[in-house]
Amino acid sequence: MTATYQVHGNLAVITLDNPPVNGLGLATRQGIVAGLEQALADPAVAAIVLTGAGKAFSGGADIREFSSAKALQEPILISVISALEASTKPVVAAIHSVAMGGGLELALGCHYRIAAPGTTIAMPEVKIGLIPGAGGTQRLPRALGVEPALNLIVSGESVKSDLLAMVPGQKLFDRMASAPEKLMEEAMALAREVAAVRPLPRLRDLPCKHPQDQAYFQFARNMAKGMARHFPAPPKCVDAVEAATKLPFDQGAAKEREIFINLMWTPECRALRHLFSAQRAASKIDDVPSDTPTRSIRRVGVIGAGTMGGGISMNFLNAGIPVVLLETQQEALDRGLATIRKNYEAQVKKGKLKEEKYKERMALLHPTLAYEDFRDVDLVIEAVFEEMGVKEQVFRQLDAIAKPGAILATNTSTLNVDTIAGFTQRPQDVVGLHFFSPANVMKLLEVVRGAKTAKDVLATVMGLAKTIKKTAVVSGVCDGFIGNRMIEQYARQAGFLLDEGCTPQQVDRAIEKFGFAMGPFRMGDLAGNDIGWAIRKRRAIEHPGLRYSKTADLLCEMGRFGQKTGKGWYDYAPGRRDALPSAEVEAMILKHREALGLKPRKISDDEIVQRLVFALVNEGAHILEEGIAAKASDIDMVYITGYGFPIHRGGPMLYADQLGLFNVVQAMKRFATNPHDDASFWQPAPLLQRLAADGKTLN
């Protein structure tokens, strides 16, 4: 039973008991209704108190029931709320800790509400592309006033109960408890006080008006549309609340339901719900149970104070974890420290960081030139040059000095983590922690699981990722891991598009219109085109048959490395980041096409987008089939958090699912017949072919 029933004198107490946050799953909903029926049938019961056990009143819908038939099984939440509202004995909601979404709607269906101070109140449905769907858009404006209610609903943000209690004329809380620990006692006192009140107050019976309704709703709708960009839900929140002011309650509620159901089927809502679950799923590793013991990480070592080492260190300093930062030369160490200081000072200047906090963080940083200082660290992350010889030297030294049980991590982007682990006598303690640049900003962390990486090491770093506010996704060992291995195919396609007739700006514009934060050529200019150049040179040795457009190499031969050299695929005015089309680059591409004997053709934006995105999808399917990624949603998380893939599309794998894999495979077959593209490139991954043939999806 996930809701309990007790009688105290003339009061019945129904307690939601569905850890962790009393999600309103089927059993809980049944439990509430059963408790209510029992209370109504018992002549000794005069009033009812509804509350939640443990850490919440209720966090809302039970996410474990998402997309399952149980979510739609009676009593659905609307029916539970109707039953409470129709109760002939008063129902008092005793709200504490968290009342969110459906949990808040449940409380709004009660006749009276008393809240503990400090309770988190929110209607977060908009964050998963929905509006509140169990009367929330109709009752909350009646309880709180139209404007504060719409603000809560459209933002999805949480507000403390104490603040809401100060809204003039509010009827959300009849009373605030004097202290959280007094809540039940005071809720029961309230229930006794109101036991004889008739008729019972119901929010549905209250008027709902805004004095300047037309002007206000127009303004609110414009704001919501501006904020929402690709998402339909925010302006729909405005429609639903407006309905509360214009229609009788039941008609308004029907309108809310209609909007809710329509939103549910939008690709944007599906994308947001997918990412919501994907985020949680990413932190779980199939064969590493959640009760796996973890190692305690009190002190961290970082080797190399370059671009990555500095940013990586800041993550730990921000979380209050001391960092020992090692370089081989004083000069490099000083340079690294200066960059860390500069980054923090910029935050202080912008008012994002307090001066004392900055000082506190710097005090946690211990710069050094001596490996000796790593004797007592619990985790070391290496971020030195990307050369196996240098990594070998570093890991042999680490093996000699680090204490037993210390985790030894590498930030390598391309080297084999198992080879690196082999430089030590403790490969079970070695793991890849692949941060993204700038490491203090980017959310993604690829955790690279070596063949011998111990389970408790994985459990520890996954937990640590949360502490430093990263989204960790596990990848197996392969060249490029999940993200860079896929982006390489995308970049190859981008090159072929230039060969066939596109300009860099046309490709960038098309994919940015699709929703990417930045197209491949602007991205190349930002990251440095020389990085890919070096990788291609290495590939030419390892995979001599692999075809690339030569344009990227020609660009580098011209010294056009990107923003850092003032020119790349685009020109840049000194000190500016605006990408200006370059006549020199266009001439280079033209000459290259002539040399190949290619006649340029006009390529549509749709074709550009499909070729770039399906390149990701196909490589993603290989990665999935090889077990490098455990699930398609992990790949989506990598692309959303690390590569600027548009959130409203839910990641490349969900996007392919939504298009239909059959259609994706058909398009690939069509691309394969293009004589200027690479036919072998478009051989659909076997997994994709199988799923397409069976009418199945990747996710």
Enzyme catalytic residues: 105, 125
CB atoms within 10 A of CB 607: 18
Sign of CA dihedral 24, 25, 30, 31: negative
Non-local CB neighbours of 324 within 8 Å, separated by 6+ positions: 299, 300, 301, 302, 366, 368, 373, 374, 377
DSSP state of 342: H
Q: Does residue 20 have a cis bond before it (omega within 30 degrees)? A: yes
3-state SS assignment for residue 101? coil
Binding residues for ligand NAD, rule CB under 6 A, total 25
- Using the rule CB under 6 A, is 586 a contact of ligand NAD? no
Cα angle, residue 430 at apex, residues 425 and 436 outer, rounded to 5° = 150
Q: Which of 24, 134, 153, 305 touches ligand NAD (CB under 6 A)?
A: 305
C-beta of 370: minimal distance to ligand NAD in Å?
A: 11
Q: Which of 385, 584, 599, 626 touches ligand NAD (CB under 6 A)?
A: 385
- Using the rule CB under 6 A, is 308 a contact of ligand NAD? yes
Cα atoms in the Cβ-side hemisphere of radius 13 Å centred on 133: 20
Q: Which ranges constitute the DSSP H helices of 115-228?
A: 136-144, 146-155, 161-165, 183-194, 213-228
Report the C-alpha gap between 445 and 527 in whole angstroms. Answer: 18
Q: Which of 2, 411, 506, 633 touches ligand NAD (CB under 6 A)?
A: 411
- Using the rule CB under 6 A, is 332 a contact of ligand NAD? yes
Q: Which ranges constitute the DSSP H helices of 385-528?
A: 388-401, 417-421, 455-467, 481-500, 504-514, 520-527
- Which residue, 39 or 445, has its beta carbon nearer to ligand NAD? 445
Which tokens belong to 415?
A: 């080297």
C-beta of 531: minimal distance to ligand NAD in Å?
A: 7
- Using the rule CB under 6 A, is 506 a contact of ligand NAD? no
- Using the rule CB under 6 A, is 420 a contact of ligand NAD? no
- Which residue, 309 or 568, has its beta carbon nearer to ligand NAD? 309
Which tokens belong to 518?
A: 């930045």
- Using the rule CB under 6 A, is 304 a contact of ligand NAD? yes
- Which residue, 396 or 670, has its beta carbon nearer to ligand NAD? 396
Environment class of 289 (CB within 10 Å of its CB; exposed 0-12, middle 13-18, buried 19+)? exposed
Backbone φ and ψ of 450, nearest 5°: -75, 170
- Which residue, 336 or 504, has its beta carbon nearer to ligand NAD? 336
- Using the rule CB under 6 A, is 413 a contact of ligand NAD? yes
Report the C-alpha gap between 59 and 99 in whole angstroms. Answer: 6
Q: Which of 328, 339, 424, 467 touches ligand NAD (CB under 6 A)?
A: 328
C-beta of 470: minimal distance to ligand NAD in Å?
A: 13
C-beta of 385: minimal distance to ligand NAD in Å?
A: 5
Non-local CB neighbours of 320 within 8 Å, separated by 6+ positions: 364
C-beta of 527: minimal distance to ligand NAD in Å?
A: 6
Task: Indicate the residue type of 451.
Answer: A
- Using the rule CB under 6 A, is 309 a contact of ligand NAD? yes
Residue nearest to ligand NAD (CB): 306
- Which residue, 292 or 424, has its beta carbon nearer to ligand NAD? 424
Q: Which of 91, 228, 233, 303 touches ligand NAD (CB under 6 A)?
A: 303
CB-based contact 180:118 (threshold 8 Å):
yes
C-beta of 421: minimal distance to ligand NAD in Å?
A: 15
C-beta of 477: minimal distance to ligand NAD in Å?
A: 15
Site string for ligand NAD, 80-119 (x = CB under 6 A): ----------------------------------------
C-beta of 104: minimal distance to ligand NAD in Å?
A: 42
Cα angle, residue 196 at apex, residues 195 and 201 outer, rounded to 5° = 80
Report the C-alpha gap between 643 and 641 in whole angstroms. Answer: 6
Q: Which of 83, 131, 384, 510 touches ligand NAD (CB under 6 A)?
A: 384
Which tokens belong to 396?
A: 């042999």
Report the C-alpha gap between 470 and 641 in whole angstroms. Answer: 9
- Using the rule CB under 6 A, is 644 a contact of ligand NAD? no
C-beta of 321: minimal distance to ligand NAD in Å?
A: 20
CB atoms within 10 A of CB 584: 11
Site string for ligand NAD, 423-462 (x = CB under 6 A): -----------xxxx-------------------------
- Using the rule CB under 6 A, is 380 a contact of ligand NAD? no
Stretch that binds ligand NAD, among 2-10, 87-95, 202-210, 384-392 (CB under 6 A): 384-392
Report the C-alpha gap between 270 and 497 in whole angstroms. Answer: 31
- Using the rule CB under 6 A, is 326 a contact of ligand NAD? yes
- Give the interface with ligand NAD as residue ranges (CB under 6 A): 303-309, 326-328, 332, 383-386, 390, 393-394, 411-413, 434-437
